[in-house]
Structure 1
Amino acid sequence: MSQEVASFDYVVVGAGSAGCLLANRLSADPSNRVLLIEAGKPDNYHWIHIPVGYLYCIGNPRADWMYSTQPDKGLNGRSLLYPRGKTLGGCSSINGMIYMRGQARDYDNWAALTGEEAWGWDASLRDFMAHEDHHKLDGGADPATGDNSRFSDLHGHGGEWRVEKQRLRWEVLDSFARAATQIGIPASDDFNTGDNSGVGYFDVNQKSGWRWNTSKAFLRPVASRPNLTVWTEAQVERLTFDTGLDGMPRCTGVSLHKGGRLRQVQALRETILSAGAVNSPQILQLSGIGPADLLQSHGITPLRDAPVGENLQDHLQIRAVFKVKARTLNALANSFLGKARIGAEYLFRRSGPMSMAPSQLGAFTRSGPGRPHANLEYHVQPLSLEAFGEKLHAFPAITVSVCNLNPTSRGHVRIASADFRDAPLISPNYLATDEDRQVAAESLKQVRQIMAQPAMAGYQPEEYKPGIQYQSDQELARLAGDIATTIFHPAGTVKMGRADDSSAVLDPHLRVKGVGGLRVVDASIMPEITSGNTNSPTVMIAEKAARWILAGQ
């Protein structure tokens, strides 16, 4: 197999939520030659851009790595599909489009764990706002009050990352929101102020009814830059190294396969891994950076013994289903005329069910009075089905999914062999702690409490799943293992931390400890998962990292 060598200043591996922004920012200086490498194809598949198209992208090798987890004890031996974006835009091309920052305490905690004040909420808020284009500032003022001061301190306008309202509402979801307020959850018109407690409709990364992924936001506007090169269908085999002047290993670039040829790419300044919480640890381990015993078991000589792939965290959602006496999407989508109406509404108005995110209504609250902050997130949908990808139920129903925002269980990602083409072994280790099992039971009880409120009485809700016969905490925790699924938020597998933190792979500026010329910039760097959806925090991480990279910090 022939080898070709190319040379760039910066090599970014992974054109996903972080990589697209990095390529944009690093190539803004025309003297920087930047290569962005993506294993998947361009994002020209039509279902990527139609919001409901996530149904046709997840589980489709055209846009998904098609991973699955190892059988999980906490899920009573079940294995889950584990979607990861494999196309320009990465997971932002196949995800639920929900714009969510998390809570201020998440970032202040990162600052405390790393000793770097720049990770705190106030500094991170500026990085969120730097690329934001928020609908609340369209026209320069809040249309309800004519005043924008309330929002201008919290949101940006004119940036690349578009945030819009959802383009549909459902009466049954409005009623659920009222029921939530009846148990003390306040109404909210903005989940992104630093305290996301409340109930309301999610904001989404869409533009005029189309999905707005990071490829459209950050790559397309700068595609003509002569100093920016984008390679698709190029899979990295491993990182390459030599010895630096300080005697430490230094990353010199990557070895990759593209077009049936092995190519060597040199990075004169830095190589940046932005391949995500599954693929970044895989590439590091294949390159000799990881747990020494794991690497040696696969015949890989350890370059640096480090806990790469450990600390995996994810949000596990428990899907409760209630039959209701109401119009829901089940009936509409199960008839020919209903499907025709849905298609016509999207074709002519870019609204209706084809424009909707997988979850429309959200709520953040505490699982019990002893919790100091909101530790649950609800995703409420006017539809129901047995499992993702299956047909909607024939009866009208809604799904009330709830997840533990701050799981204490930790899993891992480990290579299965020394062959880069073999999928890594993903073990989330869900519901492994007493606390996580207790929160699972508490959350299901709270779902029942909301559904029993007067605002829902007219719908005569009937619990279909998990079933009212399950009442004790032990029964509910076990049932959570039977019906829960991932909400697709893996994080933490290449953790950042202080110099003396032996569990941290990266320093606070995301440089791999003990290795020169190499950083990781994606959701894998999170020491603890954010209290909400993880996509936009990953974009923020890239904004902050780009500034450090350009400054040589």
Structure 2
Amino acid sequence: MADKYYDYIICGGGTSGCVLAGRLAENIDARILLIEAGPDSADLENVHMVGGWSNNFDSETDWNIVTEPQSSADGRQIKCSRGRLLGGSSGVNGTLCIRGVKQDFDDWKLDGWTGEDMWRCMNKSETFHNKPWFNPSFKDHGYDGPLHLEPHDLAPISELVKQSMIEKSLPLHEDMFATGETSTGCGHALRTVYEGIRTTAADFVSKGYRRDNVTIQTDATVDKVIISEGSNGLRATGVEMITKSGEKITAHARKEVIVSAGAYGSPAILLRSGLGPKEELEKVGITPKVNLPGVGKNLLDHPVCWFFYEVDRPGLTLDHLVHHDQGFASSYKLYKEKKTGVFSTFPFGIFAYTRLDKQLNGDPLWEKAPRWEGRDAMGLTPSQPNVEFFNTEMYGGPKQWVDFPTDHRYVVGMCTVLFSARSRGSVTLRSSNPLENPIVDHQYLADPLDLLVLTQGCQTINNIMTTGSATKDLIKGSWPPRRSHHQYTSRKEWEPYVKETVTTCYHPGGTCKMGQITDPMAVLDEQLRVRGVKGLRVVDVSVMPELNNGHTQSPAYGIGERAAEIIKEDSKKASKL
């Protein structure tokens, strides 16, 4: 960092931040500083080897975020791991490309952020690689972006789950998660994996996309944005950061500072910079510069419930390749030598969306809930799914699942993901110390509608698994054996289990949301500019007013691409003045 003056400073080398840095660097006259709190990911095996993903957690490559006790989830504190490395959570996630539906983005009602806008931007990031057996929607993919993706070859158990889903009114649309047009059905989720290696957002600023006008500063935590007062009001002019060795560094921005530290990190940086709810800032000894009540509010996520079944025969799941005998050692050796095998991809199988109107009709809570015309109690149109289902191809998931079937048993898991959760959480500062994680309170299941819809989703997919002709005779019982959920037949039976086990789907967002000028809780305008401060934007999933009904990886890439377009256009306008 010999030259501490840059045109653009990007605070956060995660998914959107790396995309933005790479795209802005296409202008060779722009000097860009990309700051990442964690290490460079180039030599981290557990990033590039997809099967090593969980080894990145509970270490220096994880932000180690833990929620406050969740009163509606049996008082549990829930681990919300986030990637703390160059590439951010794109280097530790499930590699899934599940965009949601176009209506999700149309619902934002913001210029430049329609479903069509986001589809164009998500396509721009990717290079799609087909396989002979897959029938893609070619028009819904990109073919010259840094992000490489391909379909996943299903394990035998997933083929059977797919058959039961189709039989139970979830028709097959092979590439449905790329089209943005289908709210009910099952399909293949594409993965950000190619030739056995995970591709990440770091690829936008490395390998063939490395450019001399980008300075990458890893192992440095951004403390605050420097905000100067001039004749035209407040302006962001630089940032203060602390390196891993404890050195304090100041970098200056000629044009803009962009905060891209994610749903937990971005509000924390703004708050430490004096931007946020006045009372909260004063409580931790920070002088307020702009009273922005929405900073850190509107914390969103997709709560997920996992449950597992023991399968009565070998050869269907992949457990023997990891949990049995020398399976782990053999699989690791295969990956090291040929970049193939179980560690070369993510062991999730077939995915599905569904509406739950018919199952919920008649329930008093559902019927009495306020709603807008043409939308259900969760605020969704008939073109938007209420839940997502997917299966695992072996035992595993969040790190709290520890009942590994090491005794030559075989397990398949099912997951129910809740969309459009009504509960809203918050991110607040514990102190002004940038090395201390903020207080994260997701308020999971605080709204009774969330529990209602999630439990109905669990009941629905359990019914598919236990009565579908392709799967019903395979299930010996619940896993671990002390469970009995395979016998649940009502939502009431599911409620205690859901409260006991609900966790994050690792999709936080919304804490620095965009919005109209009439929305007092909007932190940003539709150009991603922080209200009240010139030269300052936020670019990551924290800007989403509502989460998409899918996964957030693809939108994070799309947000980075769209932000680059906006900033480039603003720069052109400024140069003409």
TM-score using structure 2 length = 0.88
CA contact (8 A) 2:284 2:431 kept: yes
How far the C-alpha of 1:257 sits from its partner, in A, is 1.3
Are residues 1:403 and 2:403 paired?
no
The match for 1:425 is: 439
CA contact (8 A) 2:459 2:490 kept: no
The match for 1:37 is: 35
CA displacement 1:467-525 (0-9 Å, x = unmatched): 25655434422321101111110000001000111111000111001111100000000
CA displacement 1:201-254 (0-9 Å, x = unmatched): 32100120111011124433232x3321110111111111112432x2111110
- Structure-2 separation of matches of 1:30 and 1:92: 26
- Structure-2 separation of matches of 1:529 and 1:288: 27
The match for 1:125 is: 119
Count matched residues. 535
Are residues 1:231 and 2:220 paired?
no
CA contact (8 A) 2:309 2:475 kept: no
- Structure-1 separation of matches of 2:544 and 2:70: 23
1:215–1:385 CA distance, 2 compared to 1 (3 A): closer
Larger mean CA deviation between 125-134 and 361-370 belongs to 361-370
The match for 1:174 is: 159
Are residues 1:346 and 2:344 paired?
no
How far the C-alpha of 1:75 sits from its partner, in A, is 1.0
- Structure-2 separation of matches of 1:461 and 1:39: 47
The match for 1:273 is: 259
How far the C-alpha of 1:466 sits from its partner, in A, is 5.7
Match of residue 356, structure 2, among 343, 358, 367? 367
The match for 2:399 is: 388
How far the C-alpha of 1:144 sits from its partner, in A, is 7.0
The match for 2:190 is: 203
The match for 2:169 is: 184
How far the C-alpha of 1:391 sits from its partner, in A, is 5.4
Match of residue 67, structure 1, among 65, 68, 71? 65
- Structure-2 separation of matches of 1:338 and 1:55: 18
- Structure-1 separation of matches of 2:523 and 2:415: 34
2:97 aligned counterpart, secondary structure:
coil
How far the C-alpha of 1:100 sits from its partner, in A, is 1.9
Aligned letter for 1:483? T
- Structure-2 separation of matches of 1:469 and 1:396: 19
CA contact (8 A) 1:160 1:218 kept: no
CA contact (8 A) 1:270 1:518 kept: yes
- Structure-2 separation of matches of 1:380 and 1:366: 18
Which runs of no fewer than 5 residues in structure 2 stay unpaired? 362-375, 377-381, 572-577
The match for 1:17 is: 15
The match for 2:290 is: 304
The match for 2:369 is: none
1:386–1:517 CA distance, 2 compared to 1 (3 A): closer
Are residues 1:321 and 2:321 paired?
no
The match for 2:540 is: 522
2:77 aligned counterpart, secondary structure:
coil
- Structure-2 separation of matches of 1:92 and 1:238: 24
1:294–1:530 CA distance, 2 compared to 1 (3 A): same
- Structure-2 separation of matches of 1:442 and 1:376: 9
Aligned letter for 2:246? G
1:81 aligned counterpart, secondary structure:
coil
- Structure-1 separation of matches of 2:192 and 2:2: 39
1:360 aligned counterpart, secondary structure:
strand
Aligned letter for 1:91? S
The match for 1:159 is: 145
The match for 2:269 is: 283
- Structure-2 separation of matches of 1:332 and 1:5: 51
How far the C-alpha of 1:255 sits from its partner, in A, is 0.7
The match for 2:379 is: none
1:374–1:236 CA distance, 2 compared to 1 (3 A): same
CA contact (8 A) 2:347 2:393 kept: no
Are residues 1:488 and 2:506 paired?
yes
- Structure-2 separation of matches of 1:280 and 1:434: 29
How far the C-alpha of 1:368 sits from its partner, in A, is 3.5
1:151–1:361 CA distance, 2 compared to 1 (3 A): closer
The match for 1:52 is: 51
- Structure-2 separation of matches of 1:125 and 1:270: 26
1:159–1:108 CA distance, 2 compared to 1 (3 A): same
1:100–1:470 CA distance, 2 compared to 1 (3 A): closer
1:219–1:347 CA distance, 2 compared to 1 (3 A): closer
How far the C-alpha of 1:437 sits from its partner, in A, is 1.1
How far the C-alpha of 1:296 sits from its partner, in A, is 0.7
Match of residue 128, structure 2, among 112, 131, 134? 134
1:455 aligned counterpart, secondary structure:
coil
Aligned letter for 1:460? I
Aligned letter for 2:58? G
1:474–1:5 CA distance, 2 compared to 1 (3 A): farther
Aligned letter for 1:56? N
CA contact (8 A) 2:137 2:178 kept: no
Q: CA RMSD in A?
A: 2.1
How far the C-alpha of 1:143 sits from its partner, in A, is 7.5
The match for 1:412 is: 426
- Structure-2 separation of matches of 1:102 and 1:213: 20
2:33 aligned counterpart, secondary structure:
strand
2:148 aligned counterpart, secondary structure:
strand
Of all paired residues, the percent bearing the same amino acid is: 31
The match for 2:468 is: 453
1:421–1:340 CA distance, 2 compared to 1 (3 A): closer
Aligned letter for 1:381? T
Larger mean CA deviation between 214-223 and 45-54 belongs to 214-223
- Structure-1 separation of matches of 2:58 and 2:509: 20
Aligned letter for 1:380? N
Which aligned pairs between 1:473-552 and structure 2 lie closer than 5 A? Answer: 473-552=491-570
- Structure-2 separation of matches of 1:493 and 1:227: 31
CA contact (8 A) 1:5 1:266 kept: no
